[in-house]
Structure formats: structure tokens, C-alpha cells
């Protein structure tokens, strides 16, 4: 090929760009070959709305640094996507993976451990969540891939003392319906119907049962007392 005498320095070297782009194409083809993508995740989602939804509907089961969630039922999503970041997979690929997971999650794994409910969010809400997760998963506060050996610690419920805040941030909302908290989870019993006593809430939150994890290491005794007081006094109201 002939060189133009005064050609400016190229702004990027083809070799730097080619590998990630290729990987992205391969991954996208792989997904398409499964034949079950829920429409193309266009990247048009609203990240701020997606973050709110993630905290309500996903954080009970997933740790994600940016959202401050510490759920441990499902995989840590920073770990799940950090390798994709390091490999340079594009955001749109990660977004499509998240979007597909919401629609086609394994609801009852053969291991007997709790699975992930399908269609927690659909339509534009699902698009917003996928856009949000793809924009932050695997990245630290400065947008660099996290160091899996020394990951940043999500805030979680932190030192929250009031039961309402604990309920909203510890992950209860992802699994339980409670009108007072505006939550619609349906993995566990509807708490408005169950109207549990304070003692029952303390027992479940402390010890877990079946699909309900124990929060012993995650919440202080005072936080468990507070959330139990809140649930037992607001359920069914």
C-alpha cells in the first residue's frame, strides 16, 4: 500500500484494538448460536434507574461493589466479570450476558441450592439493570478492573441501625414482599401474609432455613433486633 507523504500519526494501533473486538465478536456469535437471546440489549438503558432496581431486586443475592450490595447466594458479580474486563470484552457483550441471565436463569439448580428467579425485571427495567451492571461489574471506583485477590469492599448495610434501612439494604427485598418496604420479592413467603412474630424473624434472620440464608456474619445483633421489630410491626399493614 502506498504511504501518503504527510500522513498523521494514527491515533490507535490496529493491533491494540483488534484482539478485544475479535473476542467481542466471537462471544456475541456464541450467544447468538444459543438461539435464545431476548432481543438485542441496545445499551440504551438508564444506569441510575438500573442501579436502584439492582439494589432492590438483585443485591440480596449478589455482591456488586458499585451498588454496595453484599448478597452471597449467587456469584459475586465483580468476580464474575473481572476476567471479561481484563480480556477487553466490550460492555455490550457483558450487558447481553446479564440480560440473558435475567430471562433464562437456572431457577432450580440440581445442587438443591437456591437458584435465581427469572424475569425479576422485564422490558425497559431489565434493559436498565443490564446497562447498569455492564457499566460497573468488575471495576473499582476509578473504573479499573478490580484485583480479585484484594477486592474493594461494598458498603452493604454498614452501620445502619433502623430496621427499615436494614430491610432495604441487607437484601430482604429481593426475596420477600412487604408492602411497607415497597418490596415485591417472591422467593420467600409474602411477609404481609405471614405476619411473623418478632421472635420468628430473629430466628430466621439469625439461623436461616431452607432457601433463606443466615445473616449472622453480615448483620450485628442490634441490626437483627431492629429488622425483626420493623418486620413484625409493619407486616400486613
Report the interface residues with ligand HEC, using CB under 6 A. 57-58, 60-62, 73-75, 77, 80, 98, 101-102, 105-106, 109, 114-117, 120-121, 129, 133, 167, 170-172, 174-176, 187-189, 194, 196, 200-201, 204-205, 209-213, 215, 227, 231
Q: Which is nearer to ligand HEC, 6 or 111 (CB)?
A: 111
Q: Which is nearer to ligand HEC, 52 or 140 (CB)?
A: 52
Q: Which is nearer to ligand HEC, 140 or 165 (CB)?
A: 165
Give me the least distance between CB of 153 and ligand HEC, in Å please.
19
Q: Which is nearer to ligand HEC, 45 or 188 (CB)?
A: 188
Asked if 79 contacts 11 with a C-beta cutoff of 8 angstroms, the reply is: no
Give me the least distance between CB of 158 and ligand HEC, in Å please.
14
Show Cβ contacts of residue 220 under 8 Å, excluding neighbours closer than 6 positions.
none
Amino acid at each position: 500500500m502506498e504511504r501518503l507523504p504527510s500522513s498523521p500519526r494514527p491515533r490507535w494501533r490496529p493491533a491494540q484494538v483488534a484482539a478485544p473486538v475479535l473476542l467481542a465478536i466471537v462471544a456475541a456469535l456464541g450467544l447468538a448460536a444459543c438461539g435464545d437471546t431476548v432481543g438485542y440489549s441496545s445499551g440504551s438503558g438508564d444506569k441510575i434507574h438500573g442501579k436502584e432496581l439492582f439494589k432492590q431486586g438483585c443485591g440480596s443475592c449478589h455482591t456488586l461493589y458499585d451498588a454496595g450490595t453484599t448478597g452471597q447466594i449467587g456469584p459475586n458479580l465483580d468476580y464474575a466479570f473481572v476476567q471479561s474486563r481484563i480480556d477487553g470484552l466490550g460492555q455490550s457483550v457483558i450487558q447481553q450476558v446479564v440480560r440473558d441471565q435475567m430471562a433464562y436463569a437456572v431457577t432450580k439448580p440440581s445442587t438443591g441450592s437456591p437458584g435465581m428467579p427469572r424475569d425479576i425485571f422485564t422490558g425497559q427495567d431489565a434493559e436498565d439493570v443490564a446497562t447498569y451492571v455492564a457499566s460497573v461489574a468488575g471495576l473499582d471506583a476509578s473504573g479499573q478492573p478490580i484485583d480479585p485477590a484484594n477486592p474493594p469492599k461494598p458498603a452493604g448495610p454498614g452501620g445502619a441501625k433502623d430496621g427499615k434501612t436494614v430491610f432495604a439494604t441487607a437484601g430482604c427485598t429481593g426475596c420477600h414482599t412487604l408492602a411497607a418496604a415497597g418490596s415485591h420479592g417472591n422467593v420467600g413467603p409474602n411477609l404481609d401474609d405471614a405476619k411473623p412474630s418478632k421472635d420468628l424473624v430473629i430466628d430466621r434472620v439469625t439461623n436461616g432455613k431452607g432457601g433463606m440464608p443466615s445473616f449472622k456474619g453480615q448483620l450485628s445483633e442490634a441490626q437483627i433486633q431492629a429488622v425483626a421489630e420493623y418486620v413484625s410491626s409493619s407486616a400486613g399493614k
